[in-house]
Copies of this chain bind each other. A is one copy, B any other.
Amino acid sequence: MDTNLQTVEIERKAEVFNWPFSRIATSLEASIIREILKISSRPGLINFAGGLPAPELFPIEQIRECVDAVLTNSGPASLQYSLTSGILPLREYLAEHVSKKGLPVTAENITITTGSQQGLDLVGRAFLEPGDYVLTELPTYMGALQAFNFYQVIYCPVTMDKDGILVDQAEEKIKQFKPKFIYLVPNFQNPSGITMSLERRQKVIDLAFKYHVPIVDDNPYGELRFSGKAVPSLRGIGGDAVIGLGTFSKLISPGLRIGWVVAPIACSKVIERVKQATDLHSATFPQYIIYEFLKRGYLEPHIEKIKVAYAHRLDIMESAMRKHFPENVTWPHPEGGLFLWLQLPEHVSTMKMLNESIEAGVAFVPGRPFHPDGSGDNTMRLNFANATPEGIVEGIKRLSVVLKKYC
């Protein structure tokens, strides 16, 4: 038998096999962020790319306590299959949390997802068909583009000012293209850091109702406000016109991969059904851990702790940038979130700078992949939360050397 198997092995290598992949699968590009993540363990590299929170701030001992309690009190249930929409106590907790901020909802409105990224994919699955239009901010979150690209959609990007998308331009595009939904990151937007003003939110919601276009409110950073005044959420103002996406990735741990979708029940049911076919349900055990963490009241103090640390890192990064960067590199000051968004002179290509920058020991994300219209080659995104304060200063120094060559 062994000898036979070996003969077979030699004959049956992949080279001779034509793999009949689907056209869309082969046309997809890998995310540049994920590609950078692969090399980010390179010794000495300072990583301003990716949306990684600070690992040294993870609440490891609290998570250990929570795991112990879960295994003691709900061991078998926490390791068993569970409902597609997620475990009931976590959905009830989230429903209560969401209800405090606007239209009341119940656990039936909530679906637990494998991070917000799965929320984006499930919304895509539920709504999008080839040739559909999606209205987005310009720039917009590249992970959303990746998720929606699979459904072969066309984007209607809308220009932003410091208060969010320009409503008149949005209305024109809605009238012309009838998009399936409006995708927005209203708080500390990824990548621009912009927070949409209340007035702008109300106007966009008016558009949603006038033209019957749902809004997808992607809100991973809303709780990470360091300064300024909180703005009511789109879901809070717009109620059932809005599908809300939330996540614990930036607040507790991305490795637990627990996010959620809040939507009108009719929509939740469709999302549940499309999710069922993709993975039956998200991991049960992390859902129990997160619920225990919330139940013990650990979330609020932990958010306070990371906000202080991130605000400090933002301050350090901006100071270092003012000190070291060429004057023709500019950025708006964000009031929260994880990201700084840099404008370089128009002739500069940050895509072309990336390799040299990595050679110099610092990684960033070039801005072009955030632009569905292919513009933005002179922009870049820096994560100020992930590196330590010392690393931030050193990384900005390294980046400034490269910037001075190009700008």
Contact = CB atoms under 8 A, between A and B. Distances in A.
Contacts of A253: 79-80, 285
A16 B264 CA distance: 11
A285 B118 CA distance: 17
Interface string A21-33: 1111110111100
A158 to B, nearest CB: 19
Copies in the assembly, this chain:
2
A64 B55 contact: no
A239 B23 CA distance: 25
A226 to B, nearest CB: 22
Instruction: Specify which of A9, A25, A55, A209 lies most central, judged by the most chain B CB atoms within 10 Å of its CB.
Output: A25
A264 B14 contact: yes
A180 B80 CA distance: 33
A128 interface: yes
A63 B21 CA distance: 39
A336 B50 CA distance: 46
A34 B80 CA distance: 14
Contact of A78 (B81, B255, B267): B255
B9 A103 contact: yes
A88 to B, nearest CB: 10
A255 B52 CA distance: 25
Contacts of A22: 125-129, 132, 151
A279 B257 contact: yes
Interface residues of A, number: 107
Given A126-B22, A150-B125, A115 B280 contact: yes
Contacts of A283: 114, 255-257, 282-283, 286
Contacts of A267: 14, 19, 21
A327 interface: no
B84 A118 contact: no
Contacts of A255: 77-82, 283-285
A143 to B, nearest CB: 7
A238 interface: yes
Interface string A103-144: 110000000011101100100011111001000000000010
Contact of A254 (B9, B80, B278): B80
Q: Is the interface of A mostly helix, strand, loop or mixed?
A: helix
Nearest to A212: B18
Contacts of A60: 71, 75-76, 79
Contact of A232 (B5, B38, B76, B256): B5
Contacts of A286: 283, 285-286
Nearest to A144: B277
Contact of A20 (B31, B53, B127, B150): B127
Nearest to A113: B279
Interface stretch (A268-276, A308-316, A343-351, A357-365): A268-276
A63 B79 contact: yes
Given A22-B129, A68-B64, A279-B115, A80 B56 contact: no
The 4 closest A-B pairs by CB, nearest first: A255-B284, A55-B76, A14-B264, A12-B239
Interface of A: 1, 5, 8-9, 12-14, 16-26, 28-31, 34, 37-38, 50-53, 55-56, 58, 60, 63-64, 67-68, 71, 75-84, 102-104, 113-115, 117-118, 121, 125-129, 132, 143, 146-147, 149-151, 180-181, 209, 212, 214, 232, 236-241, 249, 253-257, 264-267, 270, 272-274, 276-286, 289
30 contacts: A5-B236, A12-B239, A13-B240, A17-B214, A17-B264, A19-B270, A20-B214, A26-B270, A29-B273, A30-B273, A34-B83, A34-B280, A37-B81, A37-B83, A50-B81, A58-B76, A64-B67, A67-B67, A80-B253, A114-B282, A117-B279, A118-B278, A121-B278, A143-B280, A147-B277, A147-B278, A257-B282, A283-B283, A283-B286, A285-B285
